[in-house]
Chains A and B, each alone.
Chain A
Amino acid sequence: MSTAAEQIGLGAYPSEWRHRHLLGLEELSADEITLILDKAEVFKRAILQGHRRIPLLNDITCVTLFFENSTRTRISFSLAARRLGADSIDFSASTSSLSKGETVIDTAKNIEAMGTDVVIVRHRTPGTPHLLAQNLRASVVNAGDGPHEHPTQGLLDIMTIRERRGHVEGLTVALVGDIAHSRTARSNIWGLKKLGAHVIVCGPSTLVSPRWKELGVEYSWSLDEILPRVDVLNLLRIQFERQYGRPFPSVREYAHLYAMNAERLAKTKDDILILAPGPINRGVELTPDVADGSHSAILEQVTNGVAVRMAVLWLLSGAARDKR
């Protein structure tokens, strides 16, 4: 195994890594986030150099336990596991005994009993990965728990920013859209702040409460007002499926106030970087010309997603092996 690591320049397993689970970025230190990003860059370079298999986790079995629909994240995790030589199994709530009334803990314990080491869980309810972490011996990766956290998404966004701009500290990053219901926003806020960025959350006042200030971020209800001073725009998807009540009058009005289009692009800094965690609603969060333009790093984010998840799985595998 050391040879595979040596070949790609990964270095020894970092003894300072102490986490058994990855549940959120709130609980990681700046050094730990930087460590993940550094290792992710090594994996990305290896992939781009044509390493299709880096057999570091041949003895590890991962399961993606998704109680909410997802294509991108699930494929990204599965691919990351396979690239490292791990077994990867997919579990979907719709095809499971959950529809027969089994509890989420029982389902997870059953899957664990089949010999899984890492459980990658997505669930509509904040805290469900934490509940599983308390009840399983396996390592748990939070792949999105309701509007709470989506740590690997936050990591891949920050990795993309760091790659494009060379650093994160001192940048002004605006998260735009449905902040209230966005796990991506929360994970980005924790990660970006720890690495020294200035964060602005921007969106309609029903989805961006002044209370966000209490998390040490700036809030704004006007995209036009903040555009000239931001270095990075992260355009979050409107979470139509998570909104209770009526946060804005119409999609048309939302797009009018917050869609990133060519006209708004003209007001930004020349080197503006545009991210969108996807899936995007074209025409709502951003127009096609912006999505596909030179400032957009949307597809790079997807590539980086695999690399970040490889780094996370590799780091967690130490604890997963210890637990056996």
Chain B
Amino acid sequence: MPLLIQNGRVIDPSQSVDRVTSLRIVEGRIAAYDAAPQDGDEVLDATGRIVSPGLIDMHVHLREPGGEEDETIASGTAAALAGGFTSVACVPNTDPPIDSQGAVEFVRDRSVRADNCRVYVLACVSKNREGKELAEIGQLVEAGAVGFTDDGSPISDPELMRRAFEYCLMFDKPVLNHSEIRELTEHGVMHEGKTSLVLGLTGMPAAAEDVMASRDIALAEATGGRFHLMHVSTAGSVDAVRRAKRRGVRVTTEVTPHHFTLTDECLRTFDSNFKMNPPLRDRRDVEACIEGLADGTIDCIVTDHAPHAKEKKMQELDRAPFGVVGLETALGLVVTRLIEPGHLDWPAAIQKMSTHPARILGIEKGTLAIGADADVTIIDPQVHWTVNPAEFRSKSTNTPFAGWELTGRAEVVVVGGRVKFRRA
């Protein structure tokens, strides 16, 4: 049945559209603008709503295979829909890791069966994610992998990183790194700063990220490779990316809502829901992330959705795993922390949550152009709501934002022309 999304503010940065109009969707594709309802159309009234190309989260841990107690592809993609995402890219630090064609196909197959949002696969750079030898990147590309990362672990060996950049040139795929010098962060629990000093917790210095990000930028520059710096968190690495972009290095980056919202002082509660890697940094770093978003240095907003079952998080702080869920709170945090204070306008926010991730991953998404797949997120930009982890679709509830009052969230999510999520 054709779908008519009526009278919404359609914002599509891919075609510089920002106006109130009605979109008609026929056979899963965007068919017309300024459309009037026809007999047999399903009509969605979007008055007062924002109609966006489907949001894309290019950094999600779906945990399957191997971590089904934390999340499954079905539960993670359901959470993605509830958060307004029509596509996610999942990282390969599963057990076994996604380093073979079979593993890529498994994830794609499971996501088709789950029939929630679309799932794109980021596969391993190295065999078994060991950081020693390149994985069979050509065959992984054939299986559908859209980018390469050993996320969870940094690619430490500079020779391997250089070869990864070079090898991915012929497939035009990005190499994504969790840039961290592990020798500087061993036993670390939180950001190294005044708070870690007071709490006596082992710190992870900002320099661990700054140094590795700079190394990766230098290698990308030397090879002409495409480098995507994952979850940037320090003022130093934001600035390194800014300067590299000016020189024409092919570098992009992303930031999470928790890194542009929270600081290391949250750890004063000793709550492991504030333990993630990279760690929450200090006020200056948070400001640098916001500035990087505003001036375009930071291309994307991602969640680094990292579900962990409650029993794993309810441990001593050094034993509790790193990571927090984020799919179902990201949009509200973008509205509340970036749009409402005036750091980003709506088109810029949608660029960072849809247009840019699509471009970086090289997928034909993130647009509402005529003929494109009808992946659409309808957002209520004004609704006030309270984060209640008990309502999450995710299997895990390890959020640092429980009880937060947020503004703005997805109301209806359309994937391939079908309404996949409608908030009750």
How many Å from the CB of A151 to the closest CB on chain B? Answer: 13
Residue of B nearest to A183 (CB): B200
Q: Does chain A have a CB within 8 A of B69?
A: no
B318 touches A125 (CB 8 A): yes
Q: State which residues 175-233 of A face B: CB under 8 Å.
A: 180-181, 183, 186, 209, 211-212, 214-215
Q: Does chain B have a CB within 8 A of A55?
A: no
Contacts of A104 in B (CB 8 A): 315-316
Instruction: Give the size category of B's interface with A.
Output: 10 to 19
Q: Please report the C-alpha to C-alpha distance between residue A61 and residue B276 in the assembled complex, in whole angstroms.
A: 38
B194 touches A186 (CB 8 A): no
Residue of B nearest to A23 (CB): B270
A244 touches B194 (CB 8 A): no
A211 touches B316 (CB 8 A): no
B313-353 interface bits toward A, Cβ cutoff 8 Å, 1 = contact, 0 = none: 01111110000000000000000000000000000000000
B193 touches A211 (CB 8 A): yes
B317 touches A127 (CB 8 A): yes
Q: Please report the C-alpha to C-alpha distance between residue A214 and residue B282 in the assembled complex, in whole angstroms.
A: 14
Q: Does chain B have a CB within 8 A of A285?
A: no
Q: Does chain A have a CB within 8 A of B199?
A: yes
B319 touches A125 (CB 8 A): yes
B316 touches A149 (CB 8 A): no
On whether A148 and B314 interact (CB within 8 A), knowing A126-B270, A131-B270, the answer reads no
B198-222 interface bits toward A, Cβ cutoff 8 Å, 1 = contact, 0 = none: 1111100000000000000000000
On whether A103 and B314 interact (CB within 8 A), knowing A127-B270, A211-B194, the answer reads yes
Pick from B194, B197, B317: contact of A125, CB below 8 A.
B317
Contacts of A211 in B (CB 8 A): 193-194, 197
A105 touches B200 (CB 8 A): no
Q: Does chain B have a CB within 8 A of A130?
A: yes
Q: Does chain A have a CB within 8 A of B384?
A: no
15 pairs, CB–CB < 8 Å, chain A vs chain B: A103-B311, A126-B201, A126-B270, A126-B317, A127-B199, A127-B317, A128-B316, A131-B317, A147-B200, A211-B194, A211-B197, A214-B194, A215-B194, A244-B202, A245-B186
How many Å from the CB of A189 to the closest CB on chain B? Answer: 9
How many Å from the CB of A59 to the closest CB on chain B? Answer: 31
A105 touches B314 (CB 8 A): yes
Residue of B nearest to A146 (CB): B200
Q: Please report the C-alpha to C-alpha distance between residue A149 and residue B270 in the assembled complex, in whole angstroms.
A: 13
Q: Does chain B have a CB within 8 A of A123?
A: yes
Q: Does chain A have a CB within 8 A of B422?
A: no
Q: Please report the C-alpha to C-alpha distance between residue A131 and residue B269 in the assembled complex, in whole angstroms.
A: 9
B246-284 interface bits toward A, Cβ cutoff 8 Å, 1 = contact, 0 = none: 000000000000000000000001100000000000000
Pick from B194, B200, B311, B317: contact of A149, CB below 8 A.
B200
B187 touches A244 (CB 8 A): yes
Contacts of A186 in B (CB 8 A): 198, 200
Q: Please report the C-alpha to C-alpha distance between residue A245 and residue B205 in the assembled complex, in whole angstroms.
A: 14
B296-318 interface bits toward A, Cβ cutoff 8 Å, 1 = contact, 0 = none: 00000000000000010011111
Contacts of A147 in B (CB 8 A): 200-201
On whether A127 and B194 interact (CB within 8 A), knowing A103-B311, A148-B200, A244-B202, the answer reads no
Q: Please report the C-alpha to C-alpha distance between residue A212 and residue B196 in the assembled complex, in whole angstroms.
A: 11
A148 touches B201 (CB 8 A): yes
How many Å from the CB of A122 to the closest CB on chain B? Answer: 12
B62-89 interface bits toward A, Cβ cutoff 8 Å, 1 = contact, 0 = none: 0000000000000000000000000000
Contacts of A148 in B (CB 8 A): 199-201
Contacts of B318 in A (CB 8 A): 124-125
A residues with a Cβ closer than 8 A to B are 26, 103-105, 123-128, 130-131, 145-149, 180-181, 183, 186, 209, 211-212, 214-215, 244-245
Known: A131-B314, A211-B197. 9 other contacts (CB 8 A): A105-B314, A125-B317, A128-B316, A131-B317, A146-B201, A148-B201, A183-B200, A186-B198, A244-B187
Contacts of A146 in B (CB 8 A): 200-201
A126 touches B186 (CB 8 A): no
Contacts of B201 in A (CB 8 A): 126-127, 146-148
B166-199 interface bits toward A, Cβ cutoff 8 Å, 1 = contact, 0 = none: 0000000000000000000011000001100111
Q: Please report the C-alpha to C-alpha distance between residue A131 and residue B314 in the assembled complex, in whole angstroms.
A: 8
Residue of B nearest to A209 (CB): B197
Q: Please report the C-alpha to C-alpha distance between residue A201 and residue B67 in the assembled complex, in whole angstroms.
A: 46
How many Å from the CB of A212 to the closest CB on chain B? Answer: 7
- The 9 A-B residue pairs with the shortest CB-CB distance in the complex, in nearest-first order: A127-B270, A147-B200, A148-B200, A125-B316, A126-B200, A130-B270, A125-B318, A214-B194, A127-B317
Contacts of B197 in A (CB 8 A): 180, 209, 211-212, 214-215
Contacts of B199 in A (CB 8 A): 126-127, 148
How many Å from the CB of A246 to the closest CB on chain B? Answer: 12
Contacts of B202 in A (CB 8 A): 244
How many Å from the CB of B283 to the closest CB on chain A? Answer: 13
Q: Please report the C-alpha to C-alpha distance between residue A180 and residue B196 in the assembled complex, in whole angstroms.
A: 10
Q: Please report the C-alpha to C-alpha distance between residue A211 and residue B195 in the assembled complex, in whole angstroms.
A: 10
Residue of B nearest to A104 (CB): B316
Contacts of A145 in B (CB 8 A): 200
A123 touches B316 (CB 8 A): yes
Q: Please report the C-alpha to C-alpha distance between residue A183 and residue B194 in the assembled complex, in whole angstroms.
A: 15
Contacts of A125 in B (CB 8 A): 316-319
Residue of B193, B194, B316, B318 with most partner-chain A CB within 10 A: B316
Residue of A nearest to B270 (CB): A127
Contacts of B316 in A (CB 8 A): 104, 123, 125, 127-128, 131
Q: Please report the C-alpha to C-alpha distance between residue A61 and residue B269 in the assembled complex, in whole angstroms.
A: 28
How many Å from the CB of A24 to the closest CB on chain B? Answer: 10
Q: Please report the C-alpha to C-alpha distance between residue A146 and residue B200 in the assembled complex, in whole angstroms.
A: 7
How many Å from the CB of B274 to the closest CB on chain A? Answer: 11
Contacts of A183 in B (CB 8 A): 200
Contacts of B270 in A (CB 8 A): 126-127, 130-131
Contacts of B193 in A (CB 8 A): 211
Residue of B nearest to A105 (CB): B314
Contacts of B198 in A (CB 8 A): 26, 186, 215
Contacts of A149 in B (CB 8 A): 200
Q: Please report the C-alpha to C-alpha distance between residue A174 and residue B201 in the assembled complex, in whole angstroms.
A: 23
Contacts of B186 in A (CB 8 A): 244-245
Q: Please report the C-alpha to C-alpha distance between residue A186 and residue B315 in the assembled complex, in whole angstroms.
A: 24
Contacts of B269 in A (CB 8 A): 130
Q: Please report the C-alpha to C-alpha distance between residue A126 and residue B317 in the assembled complex, in whole angstroms.
A: 7
Contacts of B187 in A (CB 8 A): 244
Q: Please report the C-alpha to C-alpha distance between residue A180 and residue B319 in the assembled complex, in whole angstroms.
A: 21
Q: Please report the C-alpha to C-alpha distance between residue A269 and residue B317 in the assembled complex, in whole angstroms.
A: 43
Contacts of B194 in A (CB 8 A): 211, 214-215
Residue of B187, B194, B200 with most partner-chain A CB within 10 A: B200
Q: Please report the C-alpha to C-alpha distance between residue A183 and residue B269 in the assembled complex, in whole angstroms.
A: 17
Q: Please report the C-alpha to C-alpha distance between residue A201 and residue B199 in the assembled complex, in whole angstroms.
A: 16
Q: Please report the C-alpha to C-alpha distance between residue A147 and residue B318 in the assembled complex, in whole angstroms.
A: 13
